[in-house]
Structure 1
Amino acid sequence: MKGLLVRSSLRHLGRHPWLTALSLLGIALGVAVVVSIDLASGSALRAFERSTDAVAGRATHQLLGGSTGVPEAVYQALRVRPGAPVAAPVVEGYVQAAVGDKRTLTVLGVDPFAEGPFRDYARGEAVGNVSALLTEPGAVMLSARAARALGLSTGDTLPVRLEGLEKPLRVVGLLEPADEDTARALEALVLTDVSTAQELLGHTGRLTRVDLRLTGGDAQERAVAATLPQGLELVRAAARAGTVEQMTRAFRTNLTALSLLALVVGMFLIYNTMTFSVVQRRGLLGRLRAVGITRRELFALVLGEAAVLGAVGTVAGLLLGVLLARGLVELVTQTLNDLYFVVSVRRLALEPFTLFKGLALGLGATLLAALVPAWEAARSPPVTTMRRSTLEDVSRGRAPRLALLGLGVLAAGTVLLRWPTQALLPAYGGLFSVLLGAALLVPWATQTVSALAARPLGMAFGLLGRMAARGVHTSLSRTSVALAALMVAVATTVGVGLMVSSFRGTVVSWLDTSLQADVFISPPSLVARRGGATLLPGLAETLRATPGVAGSSTLRVANVRVDGVPTDLMAVDFSRTPVRPYTFKQGDAKTAWRELESSPDTILVSEPFGFHRGVELGDSVRLATDKGPRDFRVVGVYFDYGSDVGTLLMPRTTYEHWFDDRGISGVALYAAPGQDVDALVASVRERAGDTQALLVRANRSLRQASLDVFDRTFTITQVLRLLAIGVAFVGVLSALMALQLERAREFAVLRATGLTPEQLWGLVSLQTGLLGLLAGLFSVPLGVGLAYVLVHVINQRSFGWTLQLALTPQTLVQAVVLALVAAALAGLYPAWKMARAHPALALREE
C-alpha cells in the first residue's frame, strides 16, 4: 500500500511540472538568499580573523600603547629585565599595492631573531635572500600567492601607496608555507624588518605593539603589568577577535534578518503549493480514505511530498547560494572596508556549518509550511473531502477567526517591540509577529473587499467584472495565500525603501549641518569612514595660509581604547574659526564648548557611542592615553551618522595634553567673501605640490563622496529587496497557475456556454489585476508599519542612531504599481493557457 501511495504522489508531481518547478525555485531562492549572505559576510570576517591570527602568531598577550604605539625603549627595557617574558617587537600597518589588482597589503615588521616562539613563517619556509631583510633598505618578502597575483618575482620592485605617497619596496624572497590555511592567511602579507616597517609607515622609534608569551598564569600577567610605564596596557591576544565581532555584530545581524524575509515569503509559496496539491486530489484522497487508508498514512503522504520538494529545492538553493555569495562577498567586503576595518577577501570560504544551517532552514521551512495542508488532508472525513465546495466553505468560515488570531499576534508583536531593552532578538521577534499577524488578516480582508468590489467592477466591466470579483471571493483558500505572499514581499520593499530613504534624508541633513567649510583636504585612507592617515609635517600650516582663506580648522582622527574596545577619537582645532558644526542631542552647545576649552578633562561623545556604552551627559569615560588611563567627563552628546560604533571628540589642545601624537588628518578651509571656491581648490592643489597625493574637495564634492559611501553600504540591501520580490513573484505565479488550473472545469463550462477566448482572457486578467490591487493596498499600511519598526526600533537598537521617518508618496504609489505589475506579469501565462484550453478536454474527468 505504501508503494501505491508513493507512485500516486510521484505521478501527481509529474503531471504538474510547472508548479513543481516553481515550488522548487521558490524554495531554492529562499535558501539561496540566506546561505549567500551568511557565506559572504562569514568569508569576509574569517579572512580578517585568519590574517589577524597569522600576524598575532602564538602570542598570548600584547603590549599596546596610546595613539602613537609603544616606544622602542620599553621593549629594550623589558628584554633586559630579570625574569623577562618571551617577547617580540611588531610594527604593523596597511599599504595598497600600486601594481596588479591594487590589493590592500598588511605590512608586518618583525625582528627575525626574536620571532622563533611566535611565527614560524617569519624565520623560515621562505625562498630567496632572507638575510637581505636586515641589510638592504626597503627589502620585503611576499607570500608566493601574492607575488603571483601581482605579477612579481624575487628581485622585482613592489611600489606601494600609503597616505598619498608612493614608495618602492624590493622583493628579496617569497614565503611558501607548507599548510593551506597559513598560505591563505598570508595572501596579503608583506614581511619585513622592524626598521624598514618603521620607515615605511612613519613610525620611527615606535612599535605598534610587543607580542608576549606569558605561561605563568595570572600571577605573571600581574607582575608584567605592574612594571609597565604609564600609557601602556597589557591585553590578551584573543581580545582582538572579540572586538571585531562586537563591531560588526549589528551589521551582520541586520543582513541575516533581511535575508530571512525571503525565506518567509518562500514559505507562503510552499504552503500554497502543498495546499494546491491536496485540493487537486481531494477526490482521490477521499476515495483512498473510503477504502481504508488511515489518516496517519495520508498525513505522511503529504509531508513526504513536501520533504522531497524541500530536499531537492534546498540542495539547489545551496548551490545557488554559493554562486550568489561569490557576487555578494565583494559588496560585503566593500561595506566592511568603508565602515569598519581593512580586509581583503580573495576567495569564498565554504563553511560546513553554514551549509548545514541552510539545509535545516530549507527542509524545516518546507515541512512547517506543509503541516496545515497535511493536517487538512488527514482530518477531513471522506465524504467531506470528496465534495469540491468543502474547502472554500471552511476557508470562508475560518477567515474571521484567523483575523482575530492575527490581531492577537499583532498585539504580541507590539509588546515585543515596546519591550524596554537594547537586545535585537525581541525586536526581530516583534517584526516577524507583525508580518505574521498581517498575513492572518488577509483572508478576512480579501473576503470583505472582494465582495464590496463586485458592484464597481460590474459597473466598469459588466458581467466579467462581477465574475472576477466573485471568483476571488469564492476561491479564498487560493487567493488569500497568493495575496499574503505578494503583500509581505511588497510591504518589505516599502518598509526597507522608506527606511533607506529616511536614513538618507537624515544623513543629507546631517551633512548639510556638519560640512560647513568650503574646502576639505585629507590624504587618501584605506577605510573610507576613518581618516586616520596624516598630512606631511608642516603641510597643514602651509595650506591654511593659502590666499583667499578667511578661516580654517584641523582634524586628527586617532584610534584609542575605551574599556579595551578600539574607538575613533577626533581632535578638532577651531581656534581660527567660530564655526562649530555639531548638533547636540544632550547638553547645551555654548556651555559644552566653553567647558571643553577651559577643562582638559572633558569630552563629547557621539549618539551611537552613548547608546552602546550607556553613557549620558555628566557621565565619565575612561580613555587609555599616552599618560595612562584617564577619566573624562561627558559635557555633550552629539548627533553623528558616520560611525555606528561611536566616536569621541575633544579640542586639539586637550588631545595634545594627553597624547604625544602631533599628526593632522585633515584641514577644513572657509573661503573669504567673494572668493571663488573652485579657484581656491586649484590654489590649494598648487600650493600642496607633488610631495603628497591629497584629496582636495569642495563642499559639494565631499558631500557627494559621503553619499556615495552611504549608497554603497546599502547596495546589498537593495539586492536583497530584489531577491525577496523575485521569490514573491514566483509565489504569485505559482498561486495563479494553481488557481486557474483548479478552475479549469469551471472555465470549460463557461466556454461551452458561449464565453469566447478573448472574454476568458479578460476575466482572468481582471481577476489577476484585482489580486494585484488588493495586495498593493494591503502592503501600504504594513510597509509603513515595517518602516516605523526598522527606523525607530531596529536601527536604534542596532546602531544607536536617531532617524527621522520620511513618508514619501512616491514610495507608497510605487508599492501599488509594483504589486499590480507583478500580478499582471504573473497572470499572463495562466490567462493565455486558459484561453487556449479546449473545453472538451478540460471537462473530461481525470
Structure 2
Amino acid sequence: MTPLTRQPRYQAAVHDRPLWRTAWRRLRRRPFQYVLFILGVALGVAMMVSIDLASGSASRAFQLSTDAITGKATHRIVGGPAGLAEDVYRQVRVTAGYAPAAPVVEGYVLARQLGEQPVRLLGIDLFAEPPFRSYFGGEAAAGVGDLALFLAEPNTVILSAPLAAQYGLALGDELTLTATGREVPVRIVGLLEPADDVNRRALSSLVFTDIANAQTILAMPGQLSHIDLIANDPVALDQLAAQLPAGVTIEPASARSNTVQQMTAAFELNLTALSLLALVVGMFLIYNTVSFSVVQRRPLFGVLRCLGVTGGQLFRLILAEALVLSLIGALLGLGLGVILGRAMVGLVTQTINDLYFVVSVQEVTVPIVSLVKGLVIGVAAALVASLLPAAEALRTSPQSTLRRSALESRIVALLPWLVLAWVVLGGLGALLLWLNGVSIVVAFAGLFAVLFAFALLTPPVTVLLMRGLTPAGQRLLGVLGRMAPRDIVRSLSRTSVAIAALMVAVSVIVGVSIMIGSFRQTVSQWLNDTLRADIYLSPPSLTASQEDGTLPPDVLAAAAAWPGVAQAVTSRHAWVDVPAFARPVELIALDGDVSQGQRPYAWLSVPAGEVWQRLAAGEGIMISEPLLLKENLTLPPQPITLDTPAGPRSFPVLAVYYDYASDQGTMFIGQQLYRDLWQDQAISNMGLFVVPGRDVDALTAELQAAFSGRPEVTITSNEGLRREALAIFDRTFAITAALRLLAVVVAFIGVLSALMSLQLERAREWGVLRAAGMTLPQLWKLILLETGLMGGTAGLLALPTGFMLAWILIYVINVRSFGWTLQLYLEPGYFLQALGVALVAALLAGVYPAGRLSRMVVANALRQE
C-alpha cells in the first residue's frame, strides 16, 4: 500500500473552509430549497409559540387578576349554593372578634367604553382593605381622585390609569356597566397608578367600587361573594369555623386558583400537542429538503471524498448547514409566533370563556421561557430531521457516491426493513395507546409513533402501487404510461421522501377533519336527545360558562301557568365540594327529565324508566361520563360523599349519563332532596313543554313580549338554544381548524419544493429524452403524470393514516383528556378533500418545472458538469 492509503480515516486532507465555500455556492444557486427549509422550521415554531403565548396570556391574566383580588389573604369564608349573607361578616368581626377580615362582592360586567370585554367588578369595604390589598394608599399603586366621592356617592368606580388611557377615559367620565341583563351608569372618581408592570397587568381587568354599589349592580342584595381572612393561627381558625352558620366554610385563598389550573390543564396540553403536530409536519418538510440536498450533491461529495474529505467532515457540514438554517427559521418563527399569538389570543380566550371561566386578556405577554422553548425545540427538530441524510453521507464510500445506482439499490434493499420498522413502531404506538391510567402525554407519544410508522411504510407501498400501475399505464397511455411509474420507482430515494411528507400533512387534514366532524355530529345528536323542551328560560350571562344567576319567582310562576304550557321542568345549578375529588363539582338539582326519556346513558343501575323516579325520591344521584373518567371511578361506581350544610353525606350512584356540556363532570340530584339539604330554593333554568298543536314560535314571542321589561330573564326557543350551543362548539374548534389550515399550507409547500427539485434535478435526463425525439407536449404529459401519480399515492396513503389518527383522537385522546366518548362519523367529503389537496398540490408543483424544462436548450441539458 502507498503511504497515502495508510492515512488514518479521521485525518482530513482538506480543510473545512473550502467545504463552506461549496455550501455557499449551492445556497446562491438553489436558494429556493433553503428558503423552504427555513419556512418549514418557521411555521412549526410559529404555531407552537403562538399557542403557548395565547394560552399562557389567558392563564396569566386570570392568575394576576385573582392574585390582585386575593392580595395578602391566606383564607376566605365562602357560602354554599344559597350564597353568603352579609350578616356573617358582622358575626366574624363582632361576635367572634376575628380580625383582620374584609368582605368582598365580585362579579363580571361588560362596559361599552372598555371594548365590550368582560371585566371583574370588585366591591370592597375601603376601611377593611389596608391589610389585604395595597392599591389604596399602599405601595402597589398611587392614585388620583376623590375617595370621599367613592364612599359617599352611589354608582362610582375606580380603575387603573393605564386601562383608562387605553380607552381614552378620564376622571369624571361615565361608564355603562352591563350585569344580570341590566345597564347601570357609573362615574369614574379615581384612577390608580400601578407601581410596576405586574400590578399594571393585574389591574388591567379590574374595576373597583364600594361594596354597597357592587351589591346593587350585581343584583346581590344582602349577599357577599366571600370574606377574606389573614389567618396565622390554626387554632383560632378552627374556633372561627366552629362558630360559622351551617353551609358556610373556610377554604385556603389559593383553592380557586388551583381549581382553575386543573380545569384548563387538559385544554392547554391538547393545544400544545396540536401545535407540535404542526412541527412534525414541518420536520418532514425539513427532512425532505435536506435529503434532496444530500442526494443532489452525491457526485460532488464523491469528488470531495476522492480528494481527501472525510465522511465526518461531510457529516458536520450537513448538520452545520441545518443548524444555521434552523436558527434563521426558528428566529423567524418566533417573530411570526408573536404575531399569530396576538391574533389567536381572542380564540383561546373565547374558548376558555365558553367552557371554563370568565377571563379578560388586555395584552399578550411574551415570556422569555416561551421564546427559548420555541427556539430550542425548532432547532432540535431540524437537527433530528437532518441526522439520517447526514449519516448517509458519512457512511457512503467515495466510489458509491459517484454511482446513482448504488443509492437506489440500497433504498430497494431497505424496503423489507422498513416494513419491519412499521410493524415495530406501530406496535409500540399501539402499546402506548393501550396503556390506561397513564399520562395523556404517553397517549400523544403513541399517536406520533403511529404517524411515523405509516410514514415508514410509504416507500414499500409506493413500489407496489407503481409496479401494479405500470401495465395499466402502458395499455392506456402507451410508453409514457409505462415510463412515469417506473421513473418514480427508479428515483425512490427522492420520490418516497416527497410522497411521505405530503402523506403526513394530508393525513393530519383527514384525521382532524374526521375528529371535528364526528364531534359536531355527536354533540348535535346529543342536543337533539337531551333538549326536548320547546322553550327555555334562563338568567342572562356574559359567557356560556356562567350559570350563577337565578330566575325571579314571579317569572317562574307566570311562565309555568301561561296558556299553552303543558309542563314546566326546573333546575338549579350549584357547585358543591366533593372531598374524595378534592375539588368542587357542579351539582344540578332537577324536578323532572327535560329529555323525556331520550337521554343516552353509559351505565344504569336500574331500567331507564325507573331511574328518574328513584332520583326524584331522593334515593341517589346520577353522574356524567366525564366525571367518571376524570376521577378514574369504577363501574358500577361506589357511593359519592358530598359536603352538605348538615355535614358529609354519601349518595349511591343511580346512573352514568353522557354529557358534552362540561369536561369537568356534573351530577344530577332530585330537587326536593337538594332543597332539604342545602336550604336553597332558587331556580337557575326552566324548560317549558308546549301543548300539542300550539305554535312554539308564537308562544315564545308572547313570553318574550310579556317579559320584555325584565332584563333578568332570557327566553329562547329550542331551536335557538341548539343553534347557540353549536355556535359555541364551532368557536371552540376554531383553533383546531386553524391548525388544519396550516397543515394544508405545509402540505402544499412541501410537495411543491420536493417535486420541483426532483424534476429540475433530472434536467439532463429530460435533455436526453428530448434529443431522442420526445416532443414538448409529451414532456409536459410525462412530468404532470409523474407528479400526479406521486400526489395520488400520497393521497391514497393519507386516507387510512388519517382514519387511524381520527380513531386515536376520538377514542383515546378525547376520552383521556376530556372524558367524552364520541361516535365516529365518516363523510366522503373528508376523503375527497384530502385526495384533492394532494393531487392539486402535486399537479401545480409539476407546472413550473415542466414550463422551465420546455424552454431548455437540449445541448446545455446534456452537458455534464
Same fold (TM over 0.5): yes
Alignment of 1:53-452 (within 5 A): 53-80=67-94, 84-123=98-137, 125-216=142-233, 218=234, 221-421=237-437, 423-452=439-468
Q: Taking structure 1 as reference, are residues 233 and 841 closer, same or farther at Cα in structure 2, changes over 3 Å only?
A: farther
Give SS of 1:579's match.
Answer: coil
Using the TM superposition, give the Cα deviation of residue 85 of structure 1 relative to its aligned residue in structure 2, in angstroms.
4.5
Q: Taking structure 1 as reference, are residues 283 and 597 closer, same or farther at Cα in structure 2, changes over 3 Å only?
A: same
Following the alignment from structure 2 to structure 1, what is the Cα–Cα distance between the partners of residues 684 and 162?
A: 34
User: In the alignment, what sits opposite 1:468?
Assistant: 484
Normalised TM-score (structure 1): 0.96
User: In the alignment, what sits opposite 2:774?
Assistant: 755
Give SS of 1:234's match.
Answer: strand
User: In the alignment, what sits opposite 1:489?
Assistant: 505
1:826 and 2:842 equivalent?
Answer: no
The answer to whether the 8 A contact 1:519-1:697 is kept is yes
Normalised TM-score (structure 2): 0.94
Using the TM superposition, give the Cα deviation of residue 315 of structure 1 relative to its aligned residue in structure 2, in angstroms.
0.7
The answer to whether the 8 A contact 2:123-2:211 is kept is yes
Using the TM superposition, give the Cα deviation of residue 263 of structure 1 relative to its aligned residue in structure 2, in angstroms.
0.9
Following the alignment from structure 1 to structure 2, what is the Cα–Cα distance between the partners of residues 629 and 79?
A: 28
For the aligned residues, what is the CA RMSD? 2.0
Using the TM superposition, give the Cα deviation of residue 273 of structure 1 relative to its aligned residue in structure 2, in angstroms.
1.2
Write out per-residue CA displacement over residues 172-197 of structure 1, whole angstroms, 9 at most, x where no aligned residue: 21222121221121112111122221
The answer to whether the 8 A contact 2:592-2:612 is kept is no
The answer to whether the 8 A contact 1:515-1:581 is kept is no
Aligned residue identity for 1:607 = E
Alignment of 1:528-567 (within 5 A): 528-563=544-579, 564-567=582-585
Write out per-residue CA displacement over residues 663-710 of structure 1, whole angstroms, 9 at most, x where no aligned residue: 322221111121111110111012213122643222111111111111
Aligned residue identity for 1:117 = P
Alignment of 1:651-730 (within 5 A): 651-692=670-711, 694-730=713-749
Write out per-residue CA displacement over residues 479-526 of structure 1, whole angstroms, 9 at most, x where no aligned residue: 111111111111111111111111111111111111111111223212
The answer to whether the 8 A contact 1:177-1:183 is kept is yes
Using the TM superposition, give the Cα deviation of residue 123 of structure 1 relative to its aligned residue in structure 2, in angstroms.
4.6
1:765 and 2:765 equivalent?
Answer: no
Following the alignment from structure 1 to structure 2, what is the Cα–Cα distance between the partners of residues 167 and 582?
A: 41
Using the TM superposition, give the Cα deviation of residue 604 of structure 1 relative to its aligned residue in structure 2, in angstroms.
1.5
Using the TM superposition, give the Cα deviation of residue 209 of structure 1 relative to its aligned residue in structure 2, in angstroms.
1.2
The answer to whether the 8 A contact 2:532-2:595 is kept is no
Using the TM superposition, give the Cα deviation of residue 226 of structure 1 relative to its aligned residue in structure 2, in angstroms.
4.4
User: In the alignment, what sits opposite 2:41?
Assistant: 27
Following the alignment from structure 2 to structure 1, what is the Cα–Cα distance between the partners of residues 723 and 513?
A: 20
1:39 and 2:57 equivalent?
Answer: no
Using the TM superposition, give the Cα deviation of residue 83 of structure 1 relative to its aligned residue in structure 2, in angstroms.
7.4
Q: Taking structure 1 as reference, are residues 624 and 194 closer, same or farther at Cα in structure 2, changes over 3 Å only?
A: farther
User: In the alignment, what sits opposite 1:569?
Assistant: 587
Moved more, 559-568 or 727-736: 559-568
Following the alignment from structure 1 to structure 2, what is the Cα–Cα distance between the partners of residues 267 and 779?
A: 17
Aligned residue identity for 2:326 = G
Following the alignment from structure 1 to structure 2, what is the Cα–Cα distance between the partners of residues 201 and 284?
A: 76
Using the TM superposition, give the Cα deviation of residue 155 of structure 1 relative to its aligned residue in structure 2, in angstroms.
2.3
Using the TM superposition, give the Cα deviation of residue 580 of structure 1 relative to its aligned residue in structure 2, in angstroms.
4.8
Following the alignment from structure 1 to structure 2, what is the Cα–Cα distance between the partners of residues 26 and 488?
A: 14
Q: Which of 47, 64, 70 matches 1:50?
A: 64
Following the alignment from structure 1 to structure 2, what is the Cα–Cα distance between the partners of residues 617 and 398?
A: 51
Give SS of 1:47's match.
Answer: helix
Using the TM superposition, give the Cα deviation of residue 813 of structure 1 relative to its aligned residue in structure 2, in angstroms.
2.5
Give SS of 2:652's match.
Answer: strand
Give SS of 1:121's match.
Answer: coil
Moved more, 690-699 or 1-10: 690-699
Following the alignment from structure 1 to structure 2, what is the Cα–Cα distance between the partners of residues 655 and 97?
A: 36
Using the TM superposition, give the Cα deviation of residue 817 of structure 1 relative to its aligned residue in structure 2, in angstroms.
2.0
The answer to whether the 8 A contact 2:530-2:595 is kept is no
User: In the alignment, what sits opposite 1:634?
Assistant: 653
The runs of 5 or more residues in structure 1 that have no matched partner are: none
Aligned residue identity for 2:123 = G
Following the alignment from structure 1 to structure 2, what is the Cα–Cα distance between the partners of residues 148 and 371?
A: 53
Write out per-residue CA displacement over residues 290-328 of structure 1, whole angstroms, 9 at most, x where no aligned residue: 222222211111111111111111111111111111111
Q: Identity over aligned residues, as a percent?
A: 48
Write out per-residue CA displacement over residues 701-757 of structure 1, whole angstroms, 9 at most, x where no aligned residue: 111111111111111111100102211221111111221122121111112222222
Following the alignment from structure 1 to structure 2, what is the Cα–Cα distance between the partners of residues 722 and 584?
A: 36
The answer to whether the 8 A contact 2:92-2:240 is kept is no
Q: Taking structure 1 as reference, are residues 787 and 82 closer, same or farther at Cα in structure 2, changes over 3 Å only?
A: closer
Following the alignment from structure 2 to structure 1, what is the Cα–Cα distance between the partners of residues 658 and 359?
A: 28
Give SS of 2:654's match.
Answer: strand
Q: Taking structure 1 as reference, are residues 258 and 578 closer, same or farther at Cα in structure 2, changes over 3 Å only?
A: closer
Q: Taking structure 1 as reference, are residues 206 and 57 closer, same or farther at Cα in structure 2, changes over 3 Å only?
A: same
Following the alignment from structure 1 to structure 2, what is the Cα–Cα distance between the partners of residues 257 and 602?
A: 39
Write out per-residue CA displacement over residues 74-117 of structure 1, whole angstroms, 9 at most, x where no aligned residue: 32232246773522111111111144521211011111111112
**Aligned residues, how many?**
843
Moved more, 84-93 or 655-664: 655-664
Following the alignment from structure 2 to structure 1, what is the Cα–Cα distance between the partners of residues 97 and 684?
A: 41
Write out per-residue CA displacement over residues 236-294 of structure 1, whole angstroms, 9 at most, x where no aligned residue: 22232221111011111111111111111111111111111111221221122222222
Q: Which of 837, 842, 845 matches 2:861?
A: 842
User: In the alignment, what sits opposite 2:531?
Assistant: 515
Following the alignment from structure 2 to structure 1, what is the Cα–Cα distance between the partners of residues 68 and 545?
A: 26
Moved more, 611-620 or 353-362: 611-620
Give SS of 2:119's match.
Answer: strand
Following the alignment from structure 2 to structure 1, what is the Cα–Cα distance between the partners of residues 439 and 285?
A: 31
Following the alignment from structure 2 to structure 1, what is the Cα–Cα distance between the partners of residues 295 and 708?
A: 78
Give SS of 2:592's match.
Answer: strand
The answer to whether the 8 A contact 1:532-1:556 is kept is no
